[in-house]
C-alpha cells in the first residue's frame, strides 16, 4: 500500500521524536549514571539516523536535540565548572575502511583550497582512548582544578579524585605559563582492571555485601572519577594521557607560541605530562591509512582500550583557519574500527564439554556482525558468571568480541516484559555428552565431567595423555594420528587403541605398512609399564606424576587404590582432601572402572607389591624448580633424582621454593629466584647435594 506524503511526513516526525528520546536516555545512562545500556556502535547508529533526518528537514532542528549538544549534565553532587574554552567533541568517521581517511583528507584539502598539484597536508595521528575526557587547570604551575567534560560548556569539579592519579603532576616546572589547561583522557589499564575485578570476586567469595564486578575499563574509570570519597578512587588505579589544551596564557603575555600540534605535545611531555608513544606525524591520506591499519593490528595487544584513531591537522594556524562547524572542529576526526560490541538476542543456552572435561555454558545468539565477523555463539564462562550477569533465554544482550578473543556476553538489557524471560541458568548434574556425573570442587568456579576415559568430548585428550612419554609411552602416537583414529570411528574408548590392527592403521592418511607396524609395536611395548605411569596416564584430575608415584608406593596395588576411601587416600603423603575426593570420585564411576578392566584385559600390566612403610626421604618437604638446560642431565633425569630423594619439583618459583636449579638460558625463573632470595644451584651443586645424601638416597648417573 502506498504511503501519502502527509503520512510519510508524520512517520518521519514520530521517528525523530523517538530517536531524540532514546538518545537522551542513553546519554544520561552513559554520562551521568555511568551505567551504559547499549554499545557505542548502537548509539552512533541512532545518532547518524537522527542527523540524516534533521539534514533532510532543517526546520525540524531544535535547541534540545542531541545533535546540538555535546554530552550529559554534570552530577549534582559535584560543583559545576564553567570551561573557559568549551570541551567539544570530535566528529566520528564510522567508515572503518581506508576510504574514511581519504574522505577526511579530501575535506581538509577542499576547505584549504588545495589542488592536486599542492603538497600533502601534514597531520598528527594518535589513538582514540576509551576513557573519560578531563581538563586539568594549572595556575602559576600548581594544579588548582580538574573538571570533566560534562555538556562541553559546564563540567564537574573532580579535583580531589584526580589528585590520586600519580601520573598527573601537581606542580609544573618554572617555564610553564601562568594559566594552563591541559586536556586529556583518564583511563584504566587492562591489567589494572583485571586485578580490580579479581579483588572484587574475592570480596564476593568472602561474603562481603554490596560488592560487584565491573563491566569494562572505561565505565570503571568514569565511576572512579565520580566517587565522592577520594579513598575509593585510590583503590581503582587510574591513568592519564594528555592530548591537547584549553585556556592558556597567550604568547603576548608570556605564554607558549606553538606552531604545530606535535610541538605542543612535545612541550607537554617535557613539563611532566604522560603523552602516548603511539602519536605519529602523517603526510596525506596514504600515511593516515597506514597508521589506521598499523594501530588496528596492535589494538588487542595494547595495555589500554581504544576504539579508533584520531587525525588532526598538525599546523595550528591551519586549525584556526579551518575553525569549527556546529559541535565539532573541522580540522580533526575520529576514525573508528569495527565495533567490538553489539546488541543481539539469546536464543538458547547450551553447555559445551571441553577436551579436559570442563563444562562451559554458551549462549546461542541471533547472528550479529561484531569485531569484523558474524557471531552466533558467546561464552558465559561458568555458572557463577551466567548467574551474576543473569543471562536468560530471550534476553537482549551486549556481545563483545575483541580480535581473536572468544565472543562473550558483557551485560543484559532490562527486559520490557520480565515474565517473558527464560529460567535462571543452572549447570546440569550429568554431562550432556556422556551422562557421567558432573562435579564442582571446593573453591573452583568450573564444573567438570567425571567420565574422562569414557566421555567422547574428552576422548582425544585422554588418549594423548595416556600415550605420552611420562605415562605409558606409545612412541609415534601423535595428535594427527589420534585425530584420524577418533574421527574415523576406529577408537571409541581408550582400550580400542590396543585393538586397532596394522591394516587399519596402514589405511590412514600418511601411513604406510612399515609405520603402521611401528605403531603396533609401540603399543605392544607400552603394555609393560609401572603402576605409577598407569595411574598418571588415566588422567585423574589433580593426579600428576608425583602424586601417582606416591600412591603407587603407598598402596602397592591398583585394586587397593580403586577401593580406597577418601580418608584412606588422605593418609598418603601430599594427598589432601580435594585430591583424595577426586581420586575416589573417578573410581566410583562404573564406566571408568570398566575402562580400567578392559585395559588390563588388553594386556597392560605392572609389578605390584605389598605396601610397606617407606623410610623418611632426605629431601622431604623441600621444593625445587628446574630451569634452563643442564650440561649433562636432562630435565626428566634431574626431576626423577630429586623426587626419589623426597623433594617436590614445581614449575614456578615462589616464596615457598627452597632451591632453583639453573642451567643455560634460565630466563625469568632465575630472575625471580634472585628477586625472592631463593638459593640457586647449578648442575654441579645439585649433584654435590645428592651425593652427600644418606646411602639410601638416589643413585647418581655414571
- Segment 17-50, tens digit of pLDDT: 899 888 878 876 776 566 778 888 888 889 889 9
The continuous run of DSSP H or E covering 342 comes out as strand 341-353
Distance between CA atoms of residues 627 and 646, nearest Å = 19
Supply 539's cell numbers.
588422567
pLDDT band per the 50, 70, 90 thresholds, residue 702: very low
Same domain, 376 and 236: no
Distance between CA atoms of residues 127 and 288, nearest Å = 12
Q: What is the CATH number of the domain that holds 562?
A: 1.10.150.20
User: Are 609 and 619 spatial neighbours (Cβ–Cβ below 8 Å)?
Assistant: no
Look at residue 116 in the predicted model and tell me its pLDDT. 92
- Could you tell me what percent of the chain has a pLDDT over 90? 56
Range among 310-319, 493-502, 508-517 rated most confident: 310-319
Structural domain boundaries, residue 24: 5-68
Beta bridge partners of 659: 624, 679
Spatial neighbors of 166 by CB under 8 A, at least 6 apart, are none
User: Torsions phi, psi of 179, nearest 5?
Assistant: -120, 125
- Is residue 447 a part of any domain in this protein? no
pLDDT per position as a tens digit, 634-680: 888 898 889 888 788 888 899 889 999 999 888 889 989 998 999 99
pLDDT per position as a tens digit, 366-419: 999 887 788 999 999 999 989 989 999 999 999 988 766 689 898 898 887 888
Average pLDDT estimate for 675-691: 92
Look at residue 652 in the predicted model and tell me its pLDDT. 86
pTM for this model (two decimals)? 0.57
Look at residue 260 in the predicted model and tell me its pLDDT. 97
Look at residue 696 in the predicted model and tell me its pLDDT. 46
Q: Is the pLDDT of residue 700 over 50?
A: no
Q: In Å, what is the CA distance from 546 to each residue of 355, 464, 554?
A: 23, 19, 12
Same domain, 107 and 256: yes
Give the range among 62-71, 588-597, 642-651, 675-684 with minimum mean pLDDT. 62-71
User: Torsions phi, psi of 648, nearest 5?
Assistant: -100, 130
Three-class SS state of 457? helix
As a dihedral over the C-alpha atoms of residue 270, residue 274, residue 277, residue 282, rounded to 10 degrees, the angle is -70
Task: Indicate the number of domains in the chain.
Answer: 5
CA nearest 382: which of 449, 450, 446? 446
Q: What is the CATH number of the domain that holds 658?
A: 3.40.50.10190
What number of other Cβ atoms are within 10 A of residue 456's Cβ? 15
Same domain, 104 and 240: yes
pLDDT band per the 50, 70, 90 thresholds, residue 108: very high
pLDDT band per the 50, 70, 90 thresholds, residue 209: confident
Q: Is the pLDDT of residue 69 over 70?
A: no
What value does the mean pLDDT of the chain take?
Answer: 89
Beta bridge partners of 627: 662
User: Are 329 and 307 spatial neighbours (Cβ–Cβ below 8 Å)?
Assistant: no
Same domain, 15 and 104: no
pLDDT per position as a tens digit, 541-568: 889 998 999 999 999 999 999 999 998 9
Distance between CA atoms of residues 290 and 541, nearest Å = 49
Q: What is the CATH number of the domain that holds 264?
A: 3.30.470.30
Average pLDDT estimate for 577-592: 90
- Is residue 391 a part of any domain in this protein? yes
Same domain, 351 and 412: yes
Supply 346's cell numbers.
539469546
Same domain, 309 and 346: no
- Is residue 167 a part of any domain in this protein? yes
Same domain, 119 and 265: yes
The continuous run of DSSP H or E covering 268 comes out as helix 261-270
Q: Which of 35, 68, 101 is the last residue of a domain?
A: 68
- Is residue 347 a part of any domain in this protein? yes
3-state helix, strand, coil in the chain (%, to 5): 40, 20, 40
- Is residue 696 a part of any domain in this protein? no
Give the range among 21-25, 56-60, 135-139, 283-287 with minimum mean pLDDT. 21-25
Same domain, 405 and 518: no
More confident residue, 60 or 177: 177
Average pLDDT estimate for 316-344: 90
Same domain, 198 and 153: yes
Distance between CA atoms of residues 208 and 204, nearest Å = 5
Same domain, 183 and 290: yes
pLDDT band per the 50, 70, 90 thresholds, residue 340: confident
Average pLDDT estimate for 500-511: 92
Average pLDDT estimate for 114-142: 95
Average pLDDT estimate for 71-81: 70
Q: In Å, what is the CA distance from 650 to each residue of 187, 502, 508, 646?
A: 38, 40, 40, 13
Q: What is the CATH number of the domain that holds 397?
A: 2.40.50.140
- Is residue 456 a part of any domain in this protein? no
Look at residue 419 in the predicted model and tell me its pLDDT. 86
User: Torsions phi, psi of 512, nearest 5?
Assistant: -115, 175
Q: Is the pLDDT of residue 70 over 70?
A: no
Q: Which of 303, 336, 369 is the last residue of a domain?
A: 336
- Is residue 539 a part of any domain in this protein? yes
Same domain, 143 and 265: yes
pLDDT band per the 50, 70, 90 thresholds, residue 578: confident
Q: What is the DSSP letter of 252?
A: G
Same domain, 180 and 159: yes
- Could you tell me what percent of the chain has a pLDDT over 70? 94
What number of other Cβ atoms are within 10 A of residue 674's Cβ? 12
Q: Is the pLDDT of residue 425 over 90?
A: yes
Q: Is the pLDDT of residue 625 over 90?
A: yes
Distance between CA atoms of residues 169 and 153, nearest Å = 25
Distance between CA atoms of residues 192 and 238, nearest Å = 8
User: Torsions phi, psi of 130, nearest 5?
Assistant: -100, 80
Q: Which of 376, 392, 420 is the last residue of a domain?
A: 420
Q: Which residue numbers are catalytic?
A: 128
pLDDT per position as a tens digit, 440-490: 877 788 999 988 778 888 888 899 999 999 999 999 999 899 989 988 899
The continuous run of DSSP H or E covering 44 comes out as helix 40-56
- Is residue 441 a part of any domain in this protein? no
Amino acid at each position: 500500500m502506498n504511503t501519502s506524503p502527509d503520512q510519510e511526513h508524520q512517520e518521519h516526525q514520530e521517528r525523530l521524536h523517538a530517536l531524540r528520546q532514546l538518545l537522551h536516555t542513553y546519554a544520561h545512562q552513559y554520562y551521568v549514571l555511568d551505567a551504559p545500556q547499549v554499545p557505542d556502535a548502537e548509539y552512533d547508529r541512532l545518532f547518524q539516523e537522527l542527523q540524516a533526518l534533521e539534514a533532510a528537514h532543517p526546520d525540524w532542528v531544535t535547541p534540545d536535540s542531541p545533535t546540538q549538544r555535546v554530552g550529559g549534565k554534570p552530577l549534582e553532587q559535584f560543583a559545576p565548572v564553567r570551561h573557559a574554552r568549551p570541551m567539544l567533541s570530535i566528529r566520528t568517521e564510522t567508515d572503518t575502511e581506508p576510504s574514511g581517511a581519504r574522505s577526511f583528507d579530501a575535506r581538509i584539502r577542499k576547505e584549504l583550497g588545495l589542488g592536486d598539484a599542492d603538497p600533502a597536508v601534514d597531520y598528527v595521528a594518535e589513538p582514540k582512548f576509551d576513557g573519560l575526557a578531563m581538563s586539568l587547570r594549572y595556575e602559576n604551575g600548581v594544579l588548582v582544578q580538574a573538571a570533566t567534560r560534562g555538556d562541553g560548556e559546564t563540567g564537574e569539579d573532580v579535583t580531589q579524585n584526580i589528585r590520586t592519579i600519580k601520573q598527573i603532576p601537581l606542580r609544573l616546572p618554572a617555564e610553564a605559563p601562568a594559566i594552563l589547561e591541559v586536556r586529556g583522557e583518564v583511563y584504566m589499564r587492562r591489567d589494572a582492571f583485571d586485578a580490580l575485578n579479581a579483588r572484587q570476586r574475592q570480596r564476593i567469595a568472602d561474603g562481603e555485601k554490596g560488592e560487584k564486578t565491573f563491566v569494562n575499563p572505561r565505565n570503571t574509570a568514569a565511576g572512579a572519577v565520580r566517587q565522592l570519597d577520594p579513598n575509593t578512587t585510590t583503590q581503582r588505579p587510574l591513568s592519564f594521557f594528555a592530548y591537547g589544551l584549553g585556556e592558556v596564557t597567550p604568547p603576548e603575555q608570556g605564554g607558549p607560541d606553538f606552531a604545530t600540534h606535535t610541538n605542543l605535545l612535545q612541550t607537554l611531555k617535557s613539563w611532566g605530562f604522560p603523552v602516548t608513544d603511539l602519536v605519529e606525524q602523517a603526510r596525506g591520506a596514504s600515511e593516515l591509512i597506514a597508521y589506521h591499519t598499523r594501530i588496528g593490528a596492535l589494538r588487542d595487544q595494547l595495555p589500554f582500550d581504544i576504539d579508533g584513531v584520531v587525525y588532526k591537522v598538525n599546523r595550528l594556524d591551519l586549525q584556526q583557519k579551518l575553525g569549527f562547524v556546529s559541535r565539532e572542529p573541522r580540522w580533526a576526526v575520529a576514525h573508528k574500527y569495527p565495533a567490538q560490541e553489539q546488541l543481539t538476542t539469546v536464543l538458547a543456552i547450551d553447555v559445551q564439554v571441553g577436551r579436559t572435561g570442563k563444562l562451559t555454558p554458551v549462549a546461542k545468539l541471533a547472528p550479529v556482525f561484531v569485531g569484523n565477523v558474524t557471531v552466533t555463539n558467546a561464552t558465559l564462562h561458568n555458572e557463577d558468571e551466567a548467574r551474576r550477569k543473569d543471562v536468560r533465554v530471550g534476553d537482549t544482550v551486549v556481545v563483545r568480541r575483541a580480535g581473536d578473543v572468544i565472543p562473550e556476553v558483557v551485560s543484559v538489557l532490562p527486559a520490557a516484559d520480565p515474565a517473558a524471560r527464560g529460567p535462571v541458568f543452572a549447570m546440569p548434574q550429568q554431562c550432556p555428552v556422556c551422562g557421567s556425573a558432573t562435579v564442582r570442587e571446593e573453591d573452583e568456579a568450573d564444573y567438570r565431567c567425571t567420565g574422562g576415559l569414557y566421555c567422547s568430548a574428552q576422548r582425544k585428550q585422554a588418549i594423548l595423555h595416556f600415550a605420552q612419554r611420562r605415562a605409558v609411552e606409545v612412541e609415534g602416537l601423535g595428535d594427527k594420528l589420534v585425530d584420524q583414529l577418533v574421527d574415523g570411528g576406529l577408537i571409541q574408548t581408550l582400550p580400542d587403541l590396543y585393538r586397532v590392527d596394522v591394516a587399519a592403521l596402514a589405511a590412514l592418511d600418511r601411513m604406510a605398512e612399515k609405520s603402521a607396524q611401528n605403531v603396533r609395536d609401540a603399543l605392544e611395548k607400552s603394555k609393560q609399564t609401572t603402576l605409577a605411569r598407569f595411574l598418571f596416564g588415566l588422567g585423574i584430575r589433580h593426579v600428576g606424576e608425583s602424586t601417582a608415584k606416591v600412591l603407587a608406593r603407598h598402596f602397592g596395588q591398583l585394586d587397593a587404590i580403586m577401593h580406597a576411601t577418601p580418608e584412606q587416600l588422605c593418609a598418603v603423603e601430599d594427598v589432601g582432601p580435594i585430591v583424595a575426593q577426586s581420586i575416589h570420585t573417578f573410581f566410583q564411576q562404573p564406566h571408568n572402572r570398566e575402562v580400567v578392566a578392559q585395559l588390563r584385559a588388553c594386556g597392560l600390566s605392572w609389578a605390584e607389591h605389598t605396601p610397606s612403610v617407606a623410610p623418611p626421604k632426605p629431601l622431604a618437604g623441600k621444593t625445587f624448580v628446574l630451569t634452563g638446560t643442564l650440561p649433562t642431565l636432562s630435565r626428566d633425569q634431574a626431576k626423577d633424582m630429586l623426587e626419589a630423594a623426597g623433594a617436590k619439583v614445581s614449575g614456578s618459583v615462589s616464596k615457598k621454593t627452597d632451591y632453583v636449579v639453573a642451567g643455560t638460558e634460565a630466563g625469568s625463573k632465575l630472575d625471580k629466584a634472585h628477586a625472592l632470595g631463593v638459593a640457586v644451584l647449578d648442575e654441579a651443586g645439585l649433584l654435590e647435594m645428592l651425593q652427600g645424601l644418606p646411602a639410601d638416597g638416589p643413585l647418581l648417573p655414571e
